[in-house]
Structure 1
Amino acid sequence: MTGGSGKAYIESPCKVTITDGQATAHLVWSSPNYDYMIVDGDTYYPVNKEGNSEFDIPVTLGKEMNVQADTTAMSTPHLIDYTLYITLDDSTYGNNPIDSDNDNSSGAKSDIKTIRYSMDPPKIEGLTYISTDENTYAKCFKIHRYENGYTVISIDDGRSYLLIPEDKNLTDEILEGISKKYTDGEAEVIIPLQMPLDSIYLAASGAMCHFDSIGAVSAITMSGIEADDWYIDSAREAMNSGNIVYGGKYSAPDYEQIVMSDIDLAIENTMILHVPKVQEKLEQLMIPVFIDRSSYEEDPLGRCEWIKVYGAMTGLEDEASLSFDKQVRSVESLDLDNINGKKVAIFSINSNHQIVTRSSEDYFAKMVEMAGGIYFGPESDMNSTSQMTISIEAFYEYALDADILIYNQAIEDAPSSLEQLIKTDATFADFKAVSTGDVWCTDKSIYQSSDKTGTIIENLYAIIMDQKEETDFFYMLK
């Protein structure tokens, strides 16, 4: 939110309800003095009688909205212009993915619930089941093997994907078996994918790093984000050269271009669940939709293990296993026996002069702990989103004595120096980490690098052990 004096703010995350395609946001102001709001010429009044002013207003997600709010805090009422930007953050669905397409989002909370289904190997007429690969950390997918080179990727949302070898066809018997499961109303849905998959629309930006690691970026022909938004060199170069074109973001894909480009698979993250009509439209156009649920993985290395899914899709499973094993070895090689157990807090400062941080259940907190640190975060419950917005006073209360502060530059641009950080709020001068010079910033590429989870944990270990002043994904603020 921008506008006004900057002193008032709206609590974030806020609750968003979607009914018949219309999103309504429940806004809670930081003041009890707002007596009405104007949105698109219509006037809305508070829905509460006591406490800070609360409003239910219609909103357009993912776009800036100009609104007005009347405050009686001054000697005479004033109608003040504000600009709101509300979007649905993928952290609502899991532990806040590395691949969030809206890292600067407000973290609005959604009412969508996800049921987890069994990932047992499906019985498919015409195919003989052999075995299931054993995952090391990942809990949200399974890869099943069948005779004659057929593979099934089962996801815990009830959808399975049958990979048909390049030299095989989808026989009538197999198709009939798949169709029977669907028409009988069984929980699982089996979607056939004919190999090779070499014309993919990638809306789940966090998955690009896996394609990059196994040398399969050429399988992507359309991107859900623009070239300048990529921090992966091969992806940005492919877009600049025209080998990958922008196909529209997940919520507004360019259907005509997708059809003309003969896309054989759309890879989405769970943000697509907010716009079910988009998924329905893609499937009506005979474009299979794969939903990446790596953000639901509880273990950070579980997210990294999703590289095996994309290795199976591209026929580069050996490369995927080598990449994943390297990241696991990076973590296993850390000497945690004599670790000093420093206290670590992560934060950024938004335009409303609030602290944006991560809950103790967040995957970043778990990476800190895997690196031998003690994560300092705000109190939260199991229903809290991983990304939390709090006051500077609340941050001061729990992070004052943190040994290390990490500024999350993927959320907000970092200050250029410790001096500039203190200028944003003088209380930072009191923080232990500021006085000792142990303040770090993340590299902006960190949220497109789940394939390097082991390296990120290794970097955190180096910070905690005072081994370096700059690592692959972090640098010291001086």
Structure 2
Amino acid sequence: MKRRLALILGILMLSGMLFFAAACAKNGQKTEDVTVSYGELVSTGKEENTFAQLFSIERFTDGEGRRYSEIEIYDKDKALSSSWLLLPEGVSGAEGVPKTTQVMTAQDRANILVSSASTMSLINAMDALDKVPMTTSDTTWYIEEIKQAIGDGTVQEVGKYNAPDYEKILTVGTEKHVTFAVFSTMIDYVPQVEEMLSQTCHIRIMRDQSSSESHPLARTEWIKVFGEIFGLRTQSDAVFDAQVKALNDTLKQIGDIPESERKSVLIFYTTADKSTYNVRNAEDYVTKLVSLAGGRQVAEIGAGKSGNTKMDAETFVSTCAQADYVLYNWTSGASGVEDESLQGLIDARLGDWFKQFRAYQEGNVWRTSRDFYQKMDKMGEMVADIYQMLYGNGSSDALTYVDRLS
């Protein structure tokens, strides 16, 4: 495999070099390489994040007034995961860069490979899908712009994150000069994939650590990282600021609701076998969205943990039946459910026993939108919708991300 890929890479690189040389000769272009000294760059300050704790952005200038950025990414334990020095247009390299820091030229940032649903969502939110010629096919997309870009070939799928189509990556990567990729932390489970991408495809990987952030809007704030990479900070910051405003507007409406008066919410899904009930844990970001919206978890489930707790039917009923509201994860728990009514869900996934739940009896069973778990750029608006679910007039007509089942 490696020998075959190396041969393909050699042919593609030679073709690319000949094409570039011919184009330059035809246009009379001259290339001028400027290399700077890392030690002579002067820091103009590090940004202060609003919520995010797992990335930082620091800016520098050189003696000619050119501007640079250094992005540091941290893992869930806040240890340095990677560091990236972004060079401005016209600068091709830097000397004396620390071994822990990788250099990215302007050309390196023009087109990238993405294997992270969160990253794709945020890049789409700032209208920059044209900078992503490749993505992996791990996600069933409900975001229309991404579905369309993949459908018309603007973004090409190149296999799954754990089994990429290396030949296609080499072909598209050489054509588009792709030397950089953003992956979710799932790449940690397949180190052989990172090795192949690095050694054979010459692609370096940044890990999107946003899923390890403690505050929901920190996930949205990661859009600043991609805005910095693409030189689209005006667009990225506008997206983030709009979500902060949506959150703050909701918090003003909530005021100081005592814990005892907060509506309790059960967030869960099950599958066709009806044997296991997946309930969101206390530290999960969706549970935190509910908390920000003035709700509370129905019981102390999965304290200190994100993700889900799996329950059998008996435990599920005894623990969760008294929830004031149910928010059902429609994306994960409704595959194949043809009747999208409350009774349709009961017939396909639950059972008539669900009718003893308080939320059912009071007409407060809701579901998430299909794109709820993909729209990382809409966290503030999700809080606003959940607040209206809990304390509004009971109608979901004006809501986007939650919908009342009837």
Q: For this structure pair, what is the TM-score category when the shorter chain's length is used for normalisation?
A: 0.7 to 0.9
Letter in 2 for 1:363: Y
Could you say which residue in structure 1 is the equivalent of 2:223? 307
1:16-415 correspondence runs (5 A) = 124-147=38-61, 148-157=66-75, 158=80, 159-171=82-94, 173=95, 177-178=96-97, 181-182=98-99, 189-196=100-107, 197-225=109-137, 229-262=140-173, 263-284=178-199, 285-334=201-250, 335-337=253-255, 341-353=262-274, 354-377=276-299, 379-382=301-304, 384=305, 386-413=307-334
1:438 aligned onto 2:364: yes
TM (norm. structure 2) is 0.80
Counting matched residue pairs gives 342
**Residues in 1 aligned to 2:345 and 2:145: alpha-carbon distance in whole angstroms:** 34
**Residues in 2 aligned to 1:366 and 1:472: alpha-carbon distance in whole angstroms:** 18
Could you say which residue in structure 2 is the equivalent of 1:118? none
Letter in 2 for 1:330: A
List alignment gaps of at least 5 residues for structure 1.
1-122, 183-188
**Residues in 1 aligned to 2:134 and 2:90: alpha-carbon distance in whole angstroms:** 26
Secondary structure, aligned partner of 1:361:
coil
Cα deviations by residue, 1:27-80 (Å, 9 ceiling, x for unpaired)? xxxxxxxxxxxxxxxxxxxxxxxxxxxxxxxxxxxxxxxxxxxxxxxxxxxxxx
Distance change >3 Å, CA 422–CA 230, structure 1 → 2: closer
Cα deviation for residue 357 of structure 1 reads: 1.3
Cα deviations by residue, 1:239-269 (Å, 9 ceiling, x for unpaired)? 1111111111111111222122222211100
Secondary structure, aligned partner of 1:154:
strand
Distance change >3 Å, CA 207–CA 366, structure 1 → 2: same
1:453 aligned onto 2:374: no
Cα deviation for residue 217 of structure 1 reads: 0.9
Q: Identical aligned pairs, as a percentage?
A: 31
Cα deviation for residue 389 of structure 1 reads: 1.2
Structure 1 residue ranges, 4+ long, deviating more than 3 angstroms after superposition: 420-423
CA contact (8 A) 1:360 1:380 kept: yes
Secondary structure, aligned partner of 1:368:
helix
Cα deviations by residue, 1:112-145 (Å, 9 ceiling, x for unpaired)? xxxxxxxxxxx94342222101100000000010
**Residues in 1 aligned to 2:301 and 2:153: alpha-carbon distance in whole angstroms:** 47
Could you say which residue in structure 1 is the equivalent of 2:396? 469
**Residues in 1 aligned to 2:197 and 2:222: alpha-carbon distance in whole angstroms:** 24
Secondary structure, aligned partner of 1:462:
helix
Secondary structure, aligned partner of 1:406:
strand
CA contact (8 A) 2:265 2:325 kept: yes
Letter in 2 for 1:445: D
Distance change >3 Å, CA 256–CA 457, structure 1 → 2: same
TM (norm. structure 1) is 0.68
Cα deviation for residue 283 of structure 1 reads: 1.4
**Residues in 2 aligned to 1:295 and 1:136: alpha-carbon distance in whole angstroms:** 16
Q: Which moved more, 1:190-199 or 1:416-425?
A: 416-425
CA contact (8 A) 1:378 1:398 kept: no
Higher helix share: 2
CA contact (8 A) 1:198 1:264 kept: no
Q: CA RMSD in A?
A: 1.9
**Residues in 1 aligned to 2:67 and 2:160: alpha-carbon distance in whole angstroms:** 34
**Residues in 1 aligned to 2:40 and 2:92: alpha-carbon distance in whole angstroms:** 12
Q: Which moved more, 1:203-212 or 1:431-440?
A: 203-212
